[in-house]
């Protein structure tokens, strides 16, 4: 019998314009008087900007990992009245998330250009912003990019730790997005293709495939959600562990809990990337109390999750080595 999907409504959101491929960032027509938002130092971003050919721009380069809402308010006030034509988020997920939130606050359009290829932030309606030193996952259609540019030019020279964290993040998002309760056949198609490409890139040492896999992952999970692995990871990120690193053990344990079809494959990816075991500086019970209110992840997990389940998962993460 032919499959039908009557009664189900799918909502798929992607940026208004996507430019992908070699020289995509170089050939894009940027408006003048843009504000470039980045995290890196001048000797790096000046090379990027020269390649991109952007003229007559402002720049803010003080974005830090896990950006706080106070940073965004500072940028807004600093450039108020300068008639900025658009925001250009240039860098990792932190730069892009700041750009998204700022654009929502001001109504100024945004162009998102990833340089680390892991978060998928350029494709999604999600942003992660810290409030009172705690990361919070936000979702809003206003966060969607007016243009997303994915150019492999930015890949060479990326430090190994940044590359492996980004690759793990993208693979975690694709596999969790596939399992999400919000997934539909189209998001699953993107997530499956993304994971297959990322797995090939990591296991068979083909880093040139990472930007494409990360882009597809962003479309897939960005229209479903991530789940338990991401919920578990934030207590480690709040203690300074890089996001992709925290996902290595957290998503591995979450996939085992969920009986995910990606459980063994994701674990092998993390083993290939040689992630170390995680430590946690707070009691497991207290950490579970921080995780439980994260309904955006837990409600979309394929299995119901109790506080005791979370404590058990955390215990496995910190008191054994799930990647061994």
Task: Report yes or no on 2 lying in a domain.
Answer: no
Q: How crowded is the C-beta side of 289, counted as CA atoms within 13 Å? A: 5
CATH, residue 253: 1.20.1090.10
Judgement on whether residues 165 and 147 belong to the same structural domain of the protein: no
- 3-class DSSP state of 158: coil
Which CATH number does the domain housing residue 138 bear?
Answer: 3.40.50.1970
Residue 25 lies in a domain: yes
**Contact between residue 190 and residue 219 where contact means Cβ atoms under 8 Å apart:** yes
Q: Establish if 3 belongs to a structural domain.
A: no
The answer to whether residues 131 and 206 belong to one domain is no
Rg for the chain (alpha carbons), in Å?
A: 19
Q: How many domains does the chain have?
A: 2
Domain limit, last residue, from 131, 154, 177: 154
Residue 5 lies in a domain: no
Question: Are residue 206 and residue 292 in the same domain, yes or no?
Answer: yes
Whole-number Å distance between alpha carbons of 118 and 227: 17
CB burial of residue 293 (10 Å; 0-12, 13-18, 19+): exposed
| Tokens found for residue 49 | 């900007």
**Residues 185, 294 within the same domain:** yes
Domain assignment present for residue 12? The answer is no
For 171, phi then psi, to 5°, come to -70, -35
> Which one of 127, 154, 181 terminates a domain?
154
Decide the pairing of beta strands 35-37 and 87-91.
parallel
Residue 187 pLDDT: 96
Helix (H) or strand (E) holding 114: strand 110-114
pLDDT of residue 8: 74
Q: How many residues does the chain have?
A: 324
| 191 and 307 part of one domain | yes
Q: Is residue 43 part of a domain?
A: yes
Classify residue 147: in a domain, yes or no: yes
Q: Is 81 exposed, middle or buried (0-12, 13-18, 19+ CB in 10 A)?
A: exposed
* pLDDT tens for the chain, residues 1 to 324: 444 455 578 888 999 999 999 999 999 999 999 999 998 889 999 999 999 999 999 999 999 888 999 999 999 999 999 999 999 999 988 999 999 999 999 999 999 999 988 888 999 998 989 898 877 888 899 999 999 999 999 988 888 999 999 999 999 999 999 999 999 999 999 999 999 999 999 999 999 999 999 999 999 999 999 999 999 999 999 899 999 999 999 999 999 999 999 999 999 999 999 999 999 999 999 999 999 999 989 999 999 999 999 999 999 999 999 999
Domain boundary among 97, 129, 154: 154
Clarify whether residues 100 and 226 are in a common domain.
Answer: no
pTM score = 0.89
**Cβ distance 170 to 213 under 8 Å?**
yes
Same domain, 149 and 168: no
Residue range of the domain that includes 115 = 17-154
Same domain for 177 and 258? yes
Together in a domain, 280 and 191: yes
Residue 5: the pLDDT is 52
Q: Based on the fold, state whether residues 183 and 311 are members of the same structural domain.
A: yes
Both 169 and 291 in a single domain? yes
Residues 133 and 182 in one domain: no
């Amino acid at each position: 019998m032919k499959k039908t999907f009557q009664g189900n409504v799918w909502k798929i959101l992607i940026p208004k314009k996507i430019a992908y491929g070699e020289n995509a960032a170089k050939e894009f027509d940027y408006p003048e008087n843009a504000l470039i938002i980045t995290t890196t130092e001048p000797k790096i971003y000046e090379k990027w900007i020269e390649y991109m050919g952007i003229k007559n721009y402002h720049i803010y380069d003080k974005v830090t990992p896990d950006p706080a809402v106070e940073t965004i308010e500072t940028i807004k006030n600093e450039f108020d009245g300068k008639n900025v034509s658009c925001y250009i988020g240039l860098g990792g997920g932190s730069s892009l998330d700041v750009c998204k939130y700022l654009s929502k606050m001001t109504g100024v359009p945004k162009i998102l250009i990833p340089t680390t290829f892991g978060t998928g932030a350029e494709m999604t309606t999600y942003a992660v912003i810290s409030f009172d030193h705690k990361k919070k996952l936000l979702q809003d259609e206003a966060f969607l990019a007016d243009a997303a540019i994915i150019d492999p030019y930015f890949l060479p020279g990326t430090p190994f730790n940044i590359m492996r964290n980004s690759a793990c993040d993208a693979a975690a998002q694709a596999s969790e997005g596939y399992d999400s309760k919000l997934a539909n056949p189209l998001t699953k198609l993107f997530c499956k293709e993304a994971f297959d490409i990322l797995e090939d890139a990591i296991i068979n040492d083909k880093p040139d495939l990472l930007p494409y896999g990360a882009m597809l992952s962003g479309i897939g999970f960005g229209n479903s959600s991530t789940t338990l692995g991401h919920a578990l990871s934030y207590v480690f990120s709040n203690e300074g562990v890089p996001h992709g690193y925290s996902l290595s053990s957290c998503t591995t344990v979450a996939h085992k809990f969920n009986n995910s079809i990606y459980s063994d494959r994701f674990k092998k990816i993390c083993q290939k990337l040689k992630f170390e075991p995680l430590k946690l500086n707070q009691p497991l019970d207290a950490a579970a109390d921080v995780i439980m209110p994260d309904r955006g992840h837990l409600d979309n997990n394929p299995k119901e999750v109790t506080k005791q389940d979370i404590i058990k998962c955390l215990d496995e993460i910190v008191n054994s080595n799930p990647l061994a």
